[in-house]
Amino acid sequence: MKVAIMATGGVGGYFGARLAAAGQEVHFIARGAHLAALRANGLRLKSANGDLHLQSVSATDNPATVGAVDIVIFAVKQYDSETAARAIKPLIGPSTGVISLQNGMDRQDPLRAILGRDHVMGGVAYITAAEVTSPGVIAHVGPLARIIFGELDGGVCPRGEGFLAACKGAGIDAVLSTNIAKEMWAKFALLSAFSGVSSVLRKPIGAILGDPDTRKLLTEAIAETVAVAKASGADLGGDFLGRQVGLLDKMLPETKSSMLIDLEHRRRLELAWLSGAVARFGDEADVPTPTHHFIYAALKLDANGQSG
């Protein structure tokens, strides 16, 4: 299967590396020093699931040189969505699927407007602290690395079945869902809460869950997004909160959210698409979201990174 990774950050790089190691045709889209390192030394993956060194990879900053692909893993920050979507138009063939693994719940419409409605698929990734630690090197902390994807209309198409087979062949924990909207809300409920609370507190998951007051803050943040999801038509079930907290309890204590990592490096934050979006959705649906309103206000002045 021909797959393009847009772009080769922690998430896209991890799954792309596993697919390439299993013999799939993978093209990594990158830029700058990271691209130079990929071309010169290949891609190194350091992971609890097994290290890899792909000594030779297809890497470019010009998607037009790749041509049409079967699947695009679209894993860029939300603030880069429209620019990145326009850049990958040369990758789109008649049946190409673009699986968005981005954070947030309002990501599909901009992609559909640029790439075409039929090409955009939904997806979520559960992966602990995957990041580019130096040019050409991706580190992944802990064993969790799961991808769930599917057609936004709930159907099953050959492209999804083909990609599932490719993932399974690469040893990737993958699920082809017929209700990807619900899966996206489930991930969003967990992610928006963990990202916001960890960033406000500047602490990893172990410290947050180890204190009763901060543990309560985290569970309240999850509960608010669950209520917003229900108002939007996605009932995540009465046991959802308990199950999600149980999942967090199993994480390595040192696990940080990607937004906290961005904050520590003074990079731009996806705040507006996480806690900011929960607060906005809640206001629109008349669902109280005081925790996310607080998180948004507390982090707003840091949201633009070094330029803020």
CA distances 208 to 74, 263, 269, 278, Å, are 31, 17, 20, 21
**Hey, what amino acid is at 29?**
I
How much is the pTM? 0.92
* The CATH number, out of the four listed (3.40.190.10, 3.40.50.1820, 3.40.50.1360, 3.40.50.720), of the domain defined by the range 2-178: 3.40.50.720
pLDDT in tens, the chain (308 residues): 999 999 999 999 999 999 999 999 999 999 999 999 999 999 999 999 999 999 999 999 999 999 999 999 999 999 999 999 999 999 999 999 999 999 989 878 889 999 999 999 999 999 988 999 999 999 998 889 999 999 999 999 999 999 999 999 999 999 999 999 999 999 999 999 999 999 999 999 999 999 999 999 999 999 999 999 999 999 999 899 998 898 889 888 998 999 999 999 999 999 999 999 999 999 999 999 999 999 999 999 999 998 54
Reference 16, options 107, 153, 159, 125; nearest CA is 125
* Residue 54 bridge partners (DSSP): 43
Domain ranges of the chain: 2-178, 182-307
Its sign, for the CA torsion 46, 50, 51, 55, is negative
- Token pair, residue 221, equals 């943040």
Rounded Cα–Cα distance for residues 290 and 183 (Å): 24
Q: Which fold has domain 182-307?
A: N-(1-d-carboxylethyl)-l-norvaline Dehydrogenase; domain 2 (1.10.1040)
Residue among 287, 10, 225, 293 at smallest CA distance from 130: 10
> CA–CA separation, 191 vs 270, rounded Å?
11
Dist CA 218 CA 189 (whole Å): 11
List the structure tokens of 145: 């690395």
For the four alpha carbons of 21, 90, 270 and 236, in that order, the dihedral sign comes to: negative
Work out the number of other CB atoms within 10 angstroms of the CB of residue 9. 19
Read off the amino acid at residue 129: A
The reported pLDDT for the residue numbered 307 is: 54
How many helices, marked H, and strands, marked E, lie in the chain? 12, 12
Cα 232 to Cα 129, 136, 191, 235, 256, distances in angstroms: 29, 41, 18, 9, 29
- Say how far apart CA 153 and CA 177 lie, in whole Å: 11
Locate 264 and state its tokens.
Answer: 């520590």
Q: Which two tokens stand for residue 19?
A: 């697919």
Residue 251 pLDDT: 85
Residue 149 confidence (pLDDT): 98
Query: 191 and 226 in contact (C-beta within 8 Å)?
Result: no
